[in-house]
């Protein structure tokens, strides 16, 4: 049998020994769904896994009848997607714990307990976490819990479609404007029934790459696992697999089995067939930055702290007085000009006109007359700048106006100085480009907003043949397969480390914001009424 997949012709001859290393969804067949039924929209459409958009998963209404069925259908493990949640419509009594009906049960890991396979689970009750184990033989009715997260199609395909089941998803954010090449109807914002089309991932005895075989290929095979030495095959590893190795196992030499195509560094080191040295794994800090522009799509970047360019400040915009309070600092007084008028409902508080300028002082409380009663509310004390004097005024925290910062600071800053001296988000533009790189992608961007510092996982690599410089590569944003070589590392100390500004897609941007730093969201704004 001869077939071609991804441009690679592969011959499966009689007697060929293949080691299956995994199953993967190759693409999705989508049908438009109305009230959980297939709609009258005529055709099923084929969606690639990189099809743009963010989606919410609709909980499956069909129950699972045992814990073993759940472990067979779902990926359960230490990854951030590997914790599916279920509930039982009836109480479940365990030896020393009772799970109440309707209570959310989080499945954390599968492991051997007292000689039997079991699932480590947890429930949160009264803000306290309780852990317990379910044997795989535990029976009952288990329903999926509602999931309020948003996912890309690729994430859903890899983690959120149970084996042998379809999945209903609801479009949450299109991310891109509709065009004629989009297979979905214009302005579509409904639900889709996703049917997966699988491929088999395999390695062959005399090939160094991974073979992809569509699951509907007409070929007969026989299981010879018990009578064959499977260790004679190459063992492909993802970057996540490498990262999970202990620190003592580094450095190591690996050959790229599948890698990205690209001529720019460091991606030219990761082409298929190249050998690399992986020196170590670690967490590194990046600044998440977005292009300042009113229309979309915006460009997004992850900037290493070693970036050698310099920045000048750009004015920030503040939609409410509350945002002024968050942005003010002890280092300098915040000077703003109003861009939107506001009529105060209380005579004790100031009414703002477009063009009014203020120096922001501090948050305090003030007594106002509200519905015939005196009431204390939070206000922002400011000084209004007049032609020859200053006037003390009070602005209500809930005031929805508009302010633009007036910049007096002409200094040029390094990235590390900005992170140390100012609160993020912070607006800048590149004033001196990074001369240590051939092309500084940030220099062409008219304005950047530094949104937050994040910590991410990286591997430090270099070329095995000419290790003149080493590079940091992200673990979770590069789809690479390697196999380890039993070669000694010539230089244990890595050569000079290079970092690069990484431009990320809008889907990756949402992933970074969602998973890497969930604790940095600002507190909720105060109510609009005192």
pLDDT at position 458 is 92
Contacts of 228 (CB under 8 A, 6+ apart): 17
Cis amide prior to 297 (ω within 30 degrees): yes
Contacts of 267 (CB under 8 A, 6+ apart): 259, 260, 261
Cβ neighbors of 354 (< 8 A, separation 6 or more) are 338, 339, 340, 341
pLDDT of residue 181: 62
Question: For 140-289, where are the alpha helices, taking DSSP H only?
Answer: 153-155, 239-243
Cis preceding linkage at 254, omega within 30: no
Grouping H, G, I as helix, E, B as strand and the rest as coil, residue 63 is coil
Q: What angle do CA 32, 37, 41 make, to 5 degrees?
A: 35
Residue 509 DSSP SS3: helix
Structure tokens at 190: 């409904």
Please give the model's pTM, rounded to 2 decimal places.
Answer: 0.63
- Give the DSSP H/E element, type plus range, for residue 419: helix 415-421
Three-state DSSP at 268 gives: helix
Any idea which residue has 């033989």 for tokens? 137
**66 by DSSP, 3-state: which?**
strand
* 3-class SS letters over 318-365: EEEHHHHHHHCCCCCCCEEEECCCECCCCCCCCCECCCCEEEEEEEEE
Contact 503, 299 (CB under 8 A): yes
Whether residue 310 contacts residue 431, with contact meaning beta carbons closer than 8 Å, is answered with yes
Residue closest to 273 by CA, chosen among 472, 486, 480:
480
The answer for 32, left when phi > 0, alpha when psi is -120 to 50, beta otherwise, is beta
DSSP summary character for residue 413: B
SS3 153: helix
Q: What b-and-e string marks burial along 52-79, b requiring 16 or more CB atoms within 10 Å of the CB?
A: ebbbbbbeeeeebebbbebbebbebeee
Sort 294 into a burial class: Cβ within 10 Å, 0-12 / 13-18 / 19+.
exposed
The CA-to-CA distance between both ends of the chain, in Å, stands at 75
What pLDDT shows up at residue 158?
82
Q: Is 246 within 8 Å of 452 (Cβ atoms)?
A: no
Cβ proximity of 315 and 289 under 8 Å: no
Cα–Cα nearest to 314, from 454, 422, 399, 437: 422
**Sign of the torsion formed by the C-alpha atoms of 402, 406, 412 and 413:** negative
Q: How far is residue 356 from each of residues 128, 342, 360, 528, measured CA to CA in Å?
A: 50, 11, 13, 22
Cα 517 to Cα 111: distance, rounded to the nearest angstrom: 29
Q: Which domains does the chain have, with CATH numbers?
A: 20-199 (no CATH), 285-314+409-455 (no CATH), 317-405 (2.30.30.40)
What is residue 87's predicted lDDT score, i.e. its pLDDT? 95
User: What ranges make up the beta strands (E) of 418-500?
Assistant: 426-432, 448-463, 470-474, 481-485, 497-498
Comparing CA positions, the residue from 358, 359, 353, 325 lying closest to residue 339 is 353
Per-position pLDDT tens, the chain of length 530? 555 555 444 567 777 888 887 778 888 888 887 665 555 555 688 888 888 788 889 998 999 999 999 999 988 876 667 889 999 999 998 888 899 999 999 998 888 878 888 899 999 988 888 999 898 989 999 999 998 888 888 888 888 888 878 899 988 765 455 555 677 776 677 788 898 888 888 887 766 667 777 776 777 888 888 888 776 777 888 898 898 888 888 889 999 988 876 666 777 788 888 899 999 999 999 999 999 987 767 899 999 999 999 999 999 888 888 888 888 877 788 899 999 888 887 788 888 889 999 999 888 888 877 777 888 888 889 999 998 899 998 888 877 778 999 998 889 999 999 998 888 888 999 999 998 888 899 998 989 999 989 888 899 999 888 888 889 999 988 888 898 888 877 767 888 888 889 999 887 887 777 654 443 344 445 555 55
Helical (H) or strand (E) element with 196:
strand 191-204
Structure-token match 């009689």, residue found: 14
């Amino acid at each position: 049998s001869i077939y071609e997949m991804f441009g690679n012709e592969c011959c499966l001859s009689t007697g060929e020994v293949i080691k299956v290393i995994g199953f993967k969804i190759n693409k999705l067949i989508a049908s438009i769904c109305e009230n959980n039924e297939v709609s009258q929209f005529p055709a099923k459409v084929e969606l690639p896994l990189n099809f743009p958009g963010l989606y919410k998963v609709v909980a499956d209404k069909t129950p699972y009848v045992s814990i073993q069925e759940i472990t067979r259908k779902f990926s359960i493990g230490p990854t951030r997607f590997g914790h599916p949640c279920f509930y039982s419509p009836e109480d479940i009594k365990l030896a020393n714990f009772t799970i109440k009906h309707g209570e959310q049960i989080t499945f954390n890991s599968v492991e051997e307990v007292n000689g039997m396979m079991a699932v480590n689970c947890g429930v949160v009750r009264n803000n306290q976490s309780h852990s317990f184990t379910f044997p795989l033989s535990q029976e009952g009715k288990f329903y999926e819990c509602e999931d309020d997260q948003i996912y890309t199609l690729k994430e859903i395909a890899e983690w959120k479609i149970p084996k042998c089941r379809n999945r209903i998803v609801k479009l949450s954010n299109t991310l891109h404007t509709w065009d004629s090449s989009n297979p979905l109807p214009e302005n579509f914002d409904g639900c889709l029934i996703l049917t997966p089309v699988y491929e088999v991932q395999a390695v062959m005895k005399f090939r160094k790459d991974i073979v992809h075989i569509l699951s509907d290929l007409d070929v007969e095979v026989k299981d010879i696992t018990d009578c064959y030495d499977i260790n004679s095959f190459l063992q492909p590893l993802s970057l996540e697999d490498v990262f999970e190795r202990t620190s003592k196992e580094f450095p190591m030499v690996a050959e790229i089995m599948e890698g990205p195509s690209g001529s720019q560094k460091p991606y030219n080191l990761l082409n298929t067939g190249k050998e690399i040295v992986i020196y170590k794994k670690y967490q590194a800090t990046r600044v998440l930055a977005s292009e300042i522009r009113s229309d979309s799509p915006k460009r997004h970047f992850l900037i290493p702290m070693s970036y050698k360019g310099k920045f000048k400040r750009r004015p920030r915009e503040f939609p409410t007085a509350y945002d002024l309070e968050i942005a003010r600092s002890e280092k300098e007084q915040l000077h703003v000009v109003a861009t939107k008028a506001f009529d105060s409902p209380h005579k004790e508080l100031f009414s703002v006109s477009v063009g009014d300028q203020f120096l922001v002082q501090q948050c305090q409380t003030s007594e106002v007359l509200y519905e015939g009663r005196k009431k204390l509310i939070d206000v922002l004390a400011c000084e209004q700048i007049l032609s020859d004097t200053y006037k003390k005024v009070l602005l209500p925290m809930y005031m929805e106006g508009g302010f633009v910062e007036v910049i007096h600071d002409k200094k040029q800053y390094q990235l590390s100085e900005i992170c140390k001296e100012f609160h993020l988000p912070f607006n800048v533009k590149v004033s001196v480009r990074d001369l240590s790189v051939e092309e500084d992608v940030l220099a062409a961007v008219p304005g950047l907003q530094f949104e937050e510092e994040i910590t991410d996982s990286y591997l430090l690599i270099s070329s095995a043949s000419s290790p003149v410089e080493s590079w940091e590569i992200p673990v979770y944003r590069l789809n690479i397969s390697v196999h380890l070589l039993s070669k000694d590392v010539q230089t244990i100390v890595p050569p000079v480390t290079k970092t690069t500004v990484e431009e990320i897609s809008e889907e990756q941007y949402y992933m970074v914001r969602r998973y890497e730093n969930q604790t940095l969201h600002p507190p909720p704004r105060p109510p609009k009424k005192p």
